[in-house]
Amino acid sequence: MVKIAPSILAGDHGNLAAEAAKVEKWGADWIHIDIMDGRFAPNLTFGPGLVKSLRKAVSIPLDCHLMIEEPERYVDKFLEAGADYVTIHAEAVSPEGLATIEGSVKRYGKGLGVAFKPATSLSSLDLSAHDVSLITIMTVNPGFSGQKFMVEVVPKIKEAATVFSRRQVEIEVDGGVDLSNARLVFENGGTVFVAGNSVFGQKVPEIAITELRKAVVTNA
């Protein structure tokens, strides 16, 4: 009913390929990779090299979330490394840059995503003429794992699900998704749950993905 995309940022940075392989074994649908450049978001994380390593470690899709400035300069590198989805930020791209990125993603036969910070409206970037596979609604501000889910963003999840309902677009929710809010996210149209601490930070992470799925259909 939903896709669970564990965020590798919350995993053991000393052995990320093994962490990715574990969550694939535990039933993850995608691996979410947070790419930050220290400019767009106040953190430095990963580059194409990690994506290439994870591509060798798992067969499930790699969801690369580019929280970076000038994403059009780097998209091809992540596609070459093995990204299945490349998600850029509405706040960091011009209409011309978006067209360039869309062309690159199409050449590789992969999926294009567009992410929105909590305070950014969906109308800030016109996507009506673009081939988008994924809309990412951030329910925390970009930067660090472990932040609290911003319930005030939930109406935007519902808005995105409504706006893109006829376009077969995944609605991804990124930030603080856990057992306490998974059902709320799903009921408002979320189809992909980015799960960081709610998977890697659990005492028994092997069952965390199953528990998140259960939370969608039962009261957690």
Closest CA to 53 of 98, 91, 11: 11
Catalytic-residue membership of 84: no
Q: Looking at 37, 63, 84, 174, which residue is catalytic?
A: 174
Closest CA to 84 of 48, 109, 114, 54: 109
Catalytic-residue membership of 37: no
Question: With the C-alpha atoms ordered 17, 12, 116, 38, is the resulting torsion angle positive or negative?
Answer: negative
Q: Looking at 34, 37, 63, 84, which residue is catalytic?
A: 34
Active site residues: 34, 174
